[in-house]
């Protein structure tokens, strides 16, 4: 799997797909994200021409799968992809599974590319599970916990911690398609979330949101990537008393 940042520009999508030699691309049509139009800059005729891929800019791409309400020429629907999976026998699945080892590559996670072009980090199966397991141990997650996180799935926080925490701990994970602080607070109240994870900008938005004091939150523990000042405010104003946070944060373990 190669997660693609949803904020990438066309040239960044081109770089990641070619660097990873991705042969298939899966995307979803959404009202506020025009991925097909972005992709059209790399693949002219995508969705209207049967032979748009591969081309000179994306020589490795062989299949585009689109989750959409409409039929797109040259693209496979997500339902078609699922139906192909239904046609695979248990025997074939078991034979394929036996060939996979714990140290085979499961995902290529591209870095942020802050100082240069993104680097593709090769992550293997057991390493991803270990990352999720030990992160869950820090928070003492169990099947009784309800865990909210705004981490995007194209980031390791989402693709490892969020996706795999329920598998290794049994907890219930609460997510939202796009981060919105007000909606997030409503979800935390509605689902009685007692665990929260996020970065400083997320917590600043929670703390400054007018709905915070209106919500009956039951938060008790969290994983917070923020300054000591923000950690102190989270402790005082959001009720998170147990946390994985910087060591100089007040009263947090």
| Model confidence pLDDT, tens digit, residues 64-77 | 999 999 999 999 99
Which domain does 44 fall in, by range? 10-95
Residue 209 in any domain: the answer is yes
Residue 140 dihedral angles phi and psi, to the nearest 5°? 55, 45
**Same domain membership, residue 238 and residue 141:** yes
Q: What is the pLDDT of residues 54-64, one digit of tens each?
A: 999 999 999 99
pTM of the model: 0.85
Average pLDDT, the chain: 92
Residue 234's pLDDT band, with cuts at 50, 70 and 90, is very high
CATH code, domain with 202: 3.40.50.980
Residue 171, C-beta contacts closer than 8 angstroms, at least 6 positions apart: 136, 141, 142, 143, 144, 145, 146, 147, 165, 195
Asked if 78 and 67 count as a contact pair (C-beta separation under 8 A), the reply is yes
Helices (H) and strands (E) in the chain, counts: 10, 10
Tell me whether residue 251 is in a domain. no
DSSP label at residue 171: P
Least confident of 7-16, 222-231, 242-251: 242-251
- Asked, for residue 101, whether it belongs to a domain, the answer is no
Q: Is residue 185 situated within a structural domain?
A: yes
Percent of the chain surpassing pLDDT 90: 84
Q: Does residue 251 carry a pLDDT above 50?
A: no
Domains: count for the chain: 2
pLDDT over 50 (residue 143): yes
Listed residues 44, 77, 95: the one ending a domain: 95
The sign of the dihedral angle between the CA atoms of 45, 50, 51, 56 is positive
pLDDT at 243: 57
Q: What pLDDT shows up at residue 33?
A: 86
Confirm whether 138 is domain-assigned.
Answer: yes
pLDDT value at position 242? 62
**Is 118 part of a structural domain of the chain?**
no
For residues 55 and 140, membership in a common domain is answered with no
Return all residues near 149 (Cβ < 8 A) that are at least 6 apart: 157, 158, 161, 162, 173, 174, 175, 196, 197, 198
Whether residue 178 is contained in a domain is answered as yes
Residues 234-239: contacts with CB within 8 Å, 24+ apart? 234/203, 234/207, 237/207, 237/212, 238/196, 238/203, 238/206, 238/207, 238/212
Cα dihedral sign for 194, 198, 203, 205? negative
Helix extents (H) in 21-103: 35-40, 78-86, 90-98
Shared domain check, 87 and 154: no
Size (the chain), residues: 253
**Are 58 and 149 in a shared domain?**
no
């Amino acid at each position: 799997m190669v997660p693609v940042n949803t904020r990438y520009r066309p040239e960044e999508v081109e770089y990641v797909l070619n660097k990873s030699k991705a042969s298939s691309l899966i995307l979803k049509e959404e009202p506020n994200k025009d991925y097909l139009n972005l992709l059209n800059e790399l693949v002219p005729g995508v969705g209207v021409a049967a032979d748009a891929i591969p081309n000179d800019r994306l020589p490795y791409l062989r299949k585009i799968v689109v989750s959409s309400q409409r039929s797109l020429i040259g693209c496979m629907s997500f339902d078609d992809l699922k139906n192909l999976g239904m046609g695979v026998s248990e025997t074939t699945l078991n034979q394929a599974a036996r060939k996979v080892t714990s140290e085979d590559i499961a995902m290529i996670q591209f870095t942020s590319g802050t100082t240069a072009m993104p680097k593709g980090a090769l992550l293997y199966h057991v390493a991803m599970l270990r990352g999720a397991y030990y992160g869950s141990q820090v928070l003492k997650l169990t099947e009784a916990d309800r865990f909210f996180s705004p981490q995007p799935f194209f980031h390791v926080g989402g693709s490892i911690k969020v996706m795999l925490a329920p598998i290794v701990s049994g907890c219930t994970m609460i997510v939202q398609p796009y981060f919105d602080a007000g909606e997030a607070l409503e979800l935390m109240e509605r689902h009685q979330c007692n665990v929260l994870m996020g970065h400083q900008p997320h917590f600043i938005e929670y703390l400054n949101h007018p709905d915070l004091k209106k919500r009956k939150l039951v938060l008790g523990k969290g994983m917070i990537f923020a300054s000591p000042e923000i950690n102190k405010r989270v402790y005082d104003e959001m009720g998170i008393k147990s946390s994985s946070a910087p060591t100089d944060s007040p009263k947090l373990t």
